[in-house]
Amino acid sequence: MKTVRLGRTGIEVPQNAFGALPIQRISTEDAVKLLRNAYEGGMRFFDTARAYSDSEEKVGKAFEGMRDKVFIASKTMASDSAKFWEDLDASLRNLKTDYLDIYQLHCAPRCYGEGDELYEALKESKRQGKVRHIGITAHKIGVAEDIVRSGLYETLQFPFSYLATDRDIALVKSCKENDMGFIAMKGLSGGLLNNSRACMAFMSRFDALPIWGIQRQSELDEWLNFFENEISMTEELKAVIDKDREELLGEFCRGCGYCMPCTVEITINQCARMSQMIRRAPSKNWLTEHWQNEMLKIDNCVDCGLCKTRCPYELDIPTLLRKNLKDYKEILDGKEI
């Protein structure tokens, strides 16, 4: 397993890390077992956030008494310094620790710089020893490029998978040139990519630390397999990647859920990518009565535009929803998939 150095933080870990967003959906007992199995299997970096409901508490319980053996990153979506300190203190309590290895501004709409209260709070948290390294996450490429150019942050977390554009790849290389750690989120593009070997082979070509969102032991086993069976790019895997890029590149929903909740209760983060999901997973899972009813809710869309203002990828969500509904109805009428 390749080791990745997160820039000037000096943190070096195996290139296979645990994204703890999905564990909010499982019991504490199951989450603790999963996290400990990840550690036993070789993972050392664990990423969570205040926004992930009880994820922090579960990570804290899993690693209580062994804090020095793992690296823990968390995040705040605070918009002012008062909320920043409230979130940081809550994270430290939840994680049962007196410091975070990396603390990140979560889903930043811009690059916060000198004089901005959030950036000044980050610096002060580091001065106090509550935070060892400061980072930031972004979804928009322009914002991410501004962050790298600023030189103010030690790590950047940004979506990165084998659906990456040339501009995305240039961003990763720019981080390395600036000795900035790059943490890759959405390495599976919100679940659209389902070949872990292809994903890992692609990621191994870059100085990037992917945080795989893991909810089940079977998912964890796939990633732990690479600790013993190192993967590299082959013609077979390149063909998988090329095929997926041909089918998926362009305007597509990553399923992040930032658009939610919908004013008319559409499950946007699934319905807006139904055309891809129904073709990339057993279709019967998406043709149930439940999902048929969920998709039909799209007819209730009132074009309020709220989802568009929340989407970090600036997608035209109402149009995307209707496009997916049209395709879904055709499938129900017998169109081959």
- Measured in degrees and rounded to the nearest 5, phi and psi for residue 99 equal -155, 155
Mean predicted lDDT score pLDDT of the chain: 95
**Domain 3-237: homologous superfamily in CATH:** NADP-dependent oxidoreductase domain (3.20.20.100)
Rounded Cα distance between 154 and 211, Å, is 17
Percent of the chain with pLDDT over 90: 90
Residue 314 has pLDDT above 90, yes or no: no
Alpha helices in the chain (DSSP H): 28-41, 55-62, 81-94, 117-127, 141-150, 166-177, 196-203, 217-228, 235-248, 268-271, 274-280, 289-296, 306-310, 317-332
125-161 pLDDT, tens digit per residue, is 999 999 999 999 999 999 999 999 999 999 999 999 9
pLDDT tens-digit map of 219-238: 999 999 999 999 999 999 99
What are 253-279's pLDDT values in tens digits?
Answer: 888 888 999 999 999 999 999 998 898
pLDDT at 281 exceeding the cut of 80: no
Residue 207 confidence (pLDDT) above 80? yes
Helices 196-203 and 217-228, axial angle in degrees (round to 10)? 50
Q: What does the domain layout of the chain look like in residue ranges? A: 3-237, 268-332
pLDDT digits (tens, 9 = 90+) for 158-171: 999 999 999 999 99
Q: What is the pTM of this model?
A: 0.89
Phi–psi pair at 123, nearest 5 degrees: -60, -40
Phi/psi of residue 148, nearest 5 degrees: -65, -45
Report d(CA 50, CA 61) in Å as an integer.
Answer: 15
pLDDT confidence of residue 251: 79
